[in-house]
Amino acid sequence: MVEDLIKLVEKLLVDGGWFSDFFKIIFAITLVLIAIIYLYRFSTGKSDLLGRSKEEGEQAKPSVKNLEEQIKQLQTEKLELEKKAESLNEETNRLNQMLNESTQLYEELDEKYADETYFMSQIMYTKEEVNLAMANRENFYLNRDDIYKNLFDYLVNTIKGFREKRPRVVIHVRHPEKPDRLIHYAHSSGHSHRVREYEPLIDESAAGRAWRTNQIYYIPDIEAEHCEYDRKVNNKKYYRSILCVPLKAGDDKSLRIGVLSVTGEPANAYESIEIDRIVLFASLIYPLVYLDVKQKEVSLHG
Amino acid sequence: MGEPERVSQKERQHLNKLYREGTISRKQLMDKMKNGLFDHERLALKEKFDKFVSRIR
């Protein structure tokens, strides 16, 4: 088949044949047309000497103006991006600062929470000590001072800044012989032996006022005027604050049994939470003091 | 997590004395006295918060 086609072409292209002449004429016309088009494009500046189109080249090459515009646009975009980055940095810093503040607040809250749970454990153990003392009366009478010192340790150890405040606790009860005075009943460690000798007046002393009114009496600074306080007792000034809490059962004055006083070395030693805790503690030890004092009264009066 | 144990009376007296004398800090006293008592919820919350903070830092 292929061989047949080759033979046919050879026959057509044989010199002197009609097809050969026709082919030559067509070829010549084509060459002339190409030459005319080339000359026309070259003369009108549309192409160069080698026939390359100038328009396409110009289109392909960006002009300097375009390039400058592009650079300006890129610079504007760069500035905008830098501003955005700066603003994001500021936002990140602000959020970090907020996170740090939140963490600090949380830690402060957690510290208070931990202190509350610690106080709960101290209440539980204080109650346990009171129960043991009430259940084992013989041991209580033999070791009363030590038992109270240990009980007061639970109270003192819940007060913040114990080393700076140096809290001292003392309980006074009704004097069996002097109706205008209270008498020492128990005290914490840190007191001198003279604490036993002091008998607060029911009028004109802080403990006396708490006894009289059956209400808490807190003096943040004993040096302040207009506070009911026996100034003769603190001539060495080893404390500036004093809190007196009546040992009572409800508001019935006939059921009050004594006054628990806590002193503090600096002025304004106690915050309201500490005062609340001391009041709770006073309530916890009330049954023990009540039973003991009532029993003594019975023995005293037959 | 095991149940926290109550501190014995003798141990409590000893701890109170150590704190009063300044041998142990308040934090040490608190931790030893509590020994985990009443502290489950606080510790669980603390763990939750720490996880949250480490996730966003």
Backbone angles phi, psi at A263, to 5 degrees: -100, 160
Query: Is residue A133's pLDDT more than 90?
Result: yes
Task: Determine contact: A99 vs chain B, CB below 8 A.
Answer: yes
pLDDT computed for residue A46 by the predictor = 82
Residue B25 C-alpha, separation from nearest chain A C-alpha, in angstroms: 10
pLDDT computed for residue A182 by the predictor = 96
| Residue that has been written with the tokens 């189109």 in this structure | A53
Dist. CA A64–CA A27, nearest whole Å:
45
pLDDT computed for residue A22 by the predictor = 84
ipTM of the complex: 0.90
Query: Is residue B54's pLDDT more than 60?
Result: yes
Residue B16 C-alpha, separation from nearest chain A C-alpha, in angstroms: 6
A161 pLDDT band, cuts 50/70/90, is confident
**Contact of B31 with A118, CB cutoff 8 Å:** no
A13 pLDDT band, cuts 50/70/90, is low
pTM equals 0.74
Question: How far, in Å, are A58, A64, A149, A193 from residue A188 at the CA level?
Answer: 103, 95, 5, 11
Dist. CA A217–CA A210, nearest whole Å:
6
Q: What is the mean pLDDT of residues A142-160?
A: 93
Q: Which residue of A has its CA nearest to B47?
A: A110
Backbone angles phi, psi at A168, to 5 degrees: -125, 140
Q: Per the structure block, which two tokens stand in for A3?
A: 């061989």
Q: What is the mean pLDDT of residues A186-194?
A: 89
Question: What tens digit of pLDDT does each residue of A39-93 get?
Answer: 988 888 888 878 777 766 666 566 888 999 999 999 999 999 999 999 999 999 9
| Residue that has been written with the tokens 């009264």 in this structure | A297
A110 contacts in chain B (CB < 8 Å): 42, 45-46, 49
Dist. CA A220–CA A179, nearest whole Å:
28
Question: How confident is the prediction for chain B on average, in pLDDT?
Answer: 88
Select from A99, A110, A114 the Cβ nearest to the Cβ of B30: A114
Select from A110, A121, A132 the Cβ nearest to the Cβ of B34: A121
Residue B29 C-alpha, separation from nearest chain A C-alpha, in angstroms: 9
Task: Determine contact: A283 vs chain B, CB below 8 A.
Answer: no
pLDDT computed for residue A232 by the predictor = 74
Question: What tens digit of pLDDT does each residue of A191-235 get?
Answer: 888 899 999 999 989 999 999 999 999 999 998 888 888 877 655
